[in-house]
Structure 1
Amino acid sequence: MDTALDSANSPAGSHVAGKPAKAAMPAVKQHGELPNVLSNRYRIERLLGVGGMGAVYRARDLLREQYGDPDPYVALKTLNEEFAEYPDANALLYSEFALTSRLRHSNVIRFYAFNVDRTSQRAFMTMELLKGPTLDHLISERAQGLEWAELQQIAVPLLEALQASHSLGVLHGDIKPSNVMLTADGLRLFDYGLGQPVQGLLPGLPRLSRKRIAAWTPRYAALELLEGGQLSEATDLFAVAVILYELSSGHHPYSRLTAKQAKCMEQGDSLRKPDKLPTHCWSKLKVALAFDEDQRATTVAELLAAFSYQPTGLLQRLFARHG
């Protein structure tokens, strides 16, 4: 069966950055069905969601429960049945864990551990269990868009999470409203399953073959991704810009079309500022929504600065002038 990983980065018998790879990983037996209890510790309770490659479950940590933890629940992610059959399935999931466990930010989901269940040989990782609505629910409820004060409370932590990821060399790869949750203690960006490190970071890490697997969400994917290009900070920038436009207007900037379809229909020419969005934000957001990567002449940091800006009120200006 074909591998889901780039051959140049496959852990068995490959060469990385011109150097021989480490010894091949031992072969594992065929993956079995997901058991009710993994590694004699995590009891699966119910399915929370299924993505392009993975499935996430609510699980009870029996060890934490044994020692009286009042909240022994975790989110447990494993590859779905289709991807679990790939020869490099466990390495595929480990790549996500190795990449995202580097992240330490209050608005990025927290990862706990990576394990392989001995009986089934199914790899899985545990992370914090998130509770709350995702942004797609919020967008569907607010057809007229969010007021500026509300939008700012979501945009700033979302952009901070993405900027923190990029500063550590981690590209998300599939930013969309359903991968952002509003929890009781703040916003969380999650699901880095299609993410990659920037060039030169973690060179021995197996990478997903994007020629074989195109699991990202088309209407949030930048044009270069749809045309077979590489994931980059600019592709994440485009996706987050689409979300910010949806939050501020209540609708997709390009009528829920893909960037390729919208460019063919010249929808970029008719893009207009959402009524509730401040002008100083629109100048940056519009550039971030450009179809062509070389026209996306801004950064996540510049977008964050625009959405963080607090204009001085009239009374404050008067006091500053006459104080």
Structure 2
Amino acid sequence: MSEPESDASLYSGFAPVGQVQCTPASVHGKALPDVVAGRYRIERLLGVGGMGCVYRARDLLHEQFGDPAPPVALKFLADSLDESPDGAALLYSEFALTRHLHHLNVVRLYTFEVDTDCQRAFISMELMQGLTLDRLLCEHPLGLPWHMLRSIALPLLDALAHAHQRGVVHGDLKPSNVMLCDDGPRLFDFGLGHAEEGMPGLARLSRTRFNAWTPGYAAAELLEGAAPSARSDLFALACVLYELAGGKHPYRRLPATQACAEGLERALRAPNNLPRHCWSALRTALALDASRRTISASDLQAVLSRVPFWRPRWQGQWW
């Protein structure tokens, strides 16, 4: 796949370079060396967000040995978090959580390193190229046709089910955290991720200081102070799938607590491009009350992957 003209907006939560005051060799104004950790030559800034910056870089070590390795992406924390006592541990936690997963549809992280000269920790990862789902939605304002929606939903649900089986909760699922690459959708940015008790290799963090849930996709229990869970992940992904199916967010992107107060769940209707047999399961995943969200990512995947029902040719396509 050829590289897009602008890959500056390819990473979740990160605004394109032209929308931020940031030079190609700085993190929120703090200068970085041209080569970090004696290995990665920074080429350009891809994007900036509240929690960090992502750069495109070349791996000089691989090049030295004649390996035509593709460019990589480097993620640094923003200055405000980097200066926090838990800053580097927060970035390492994202690395450890994602490294714990082995799935085609989850971003591949390579290393966690620290540049000793500038004292900045960073993650090296695959440089993804493609469209994030928020950009795809701009191209399909009425929603995606069923065959396209299904080709995105099934691998995403499989990736989420894999994460939950491994004890990892994503914590911040939203359209800009999923990219459509050549080999399918890729879930990334586990910066607000959470691990079940007993997972080894993770630093102890006071995560309450880093809660930055995206209001339109955060389950009500998250906004009320509960820890991220498989159920809160499923709610977020259900909102994404509903939006992909009909072009509109199920709760108008309002915080779930406000949607609950306004009784918006009672007004939910199946999106146009979703087969009828899938609506009951998706609606259950969209429940604002976590106790009524009695379905898993695997359950929803099974419903969406059922053999389509046959319909007479004059009544339209197969469902």
Q: Normalized against structure 1, the TM-score is what? A: 0.84
RMSD over equivalenced CA pairs, Å: 1.6
Q: 4+ residue runs of structure 1 moved beyond 4 angstroms?
A: none
- Compared with structure 1, are the counterparts of its residues 175 and 164 closer, same or farther at alpha carbon in structure 2 (3 Å cutoff)? same
**Alpha-carbon separation, structure 1, partners of 2:171 and 2:195:** 10
- Match in the other structure for 1:257: 254
**Alpha-carbon separation, structure 2, partners of 1:110 and 1:306:** 28
- Compared with structure 1, are the counterparts of its residues 166 and 51 closer, same or farther at alpha carbon in structure 2 (3 Å cutoff)? farther
Contact 1:173 1:195 in 2 (8 A): yes
**Alpha-carbon separation, structure 1, partners of 2:69 and 2:39:** 15
**Alpha-carbon separation, structure 2, partners of 1:207 and 1:154:** 35
**Alpha-carbon separation, structure 2, partners of 1:279 and 1:48:** 41
SS at match of 2:208: coil
Pairing 1:225–2:222 present: yes
Paired residue for 2:170, among 143, 152, 172?
172
Paired residue for 1:282, among 275, 279, 282?
279
Contact 1:113 1:126 in 2 (8 A): yes
Shift of 1:312: 4.8
Q: Which amino acid is 1:86 matched to?
A: S
Paired residue for 2:124, among 123, 126, 147?
126
**Alpha-carbon separation, structure 2, partners of 1:291 and 1:164:** 24
**Alpha-carbon separation, structure 1, partners of 2:276 and 2:84:** 49
SS at match of 1:182: strand
Structure of higher CA gyration radius: 1
Q: Which amino acid is 1:278 matched to?
A: P
Contact 1:174 1:236 in 2 (8 A): yes
Paired residue for 2:299, among 298, 302, 323?
302
1:62-101 aligned at under 5 Å gives the runs 62-101=60-99
1:1-323 aligned at under 5 Å gives the runs 33-202=31-200, 205-313=202-310
Q: Normalized against structure 2, the TM-score is what? A: 0.85
Contact 1:219 1:257 in 2 (8 A): yes
- Match in the other structure for 1:5: none
Shift of 1:264: 1.1
Contact 1:95 1:207 in 2 (8 A): no
Q: Which amino acid is 2:91 matched to?
A: L
Shift of 1:82: 1.4
- Match in the other structure for 2:4: none
Shift of 1:119: 0.9
Contact 1:53 1:215 in 2 (8 A): no
Bigger drift between 256-265 and 243-252 goes to 256-265
Contact 1:62 1:72 in 2 (8 A): no
The gaps in structure 2 that reach 5 residues or longer are 1-29, 313-319
- Compared with structure 1, are the counterparts of its residues 125 and 312 closer, same or farther at alpha carbon in structure 2 (3 Å cutoff)? same
SS at match of 1:150: helix
- Deviations 1:197-232 (Å, cap 9, x if unpaired)? 112222x62254343222121100000000111110
Shift of 1:255: 1.0
The gaps in structure 1 that reach 5 residues or longer are 1-31, 316-323
Q: Which has the higher contact order (CA 8 A, sep 6+)?
A: 1
Tell me the percent identity. 57
**Alpha-carbon separation, structure 1, partners of 2:311 and 2:293:** 34
- Match in the other structure for 1:318: none
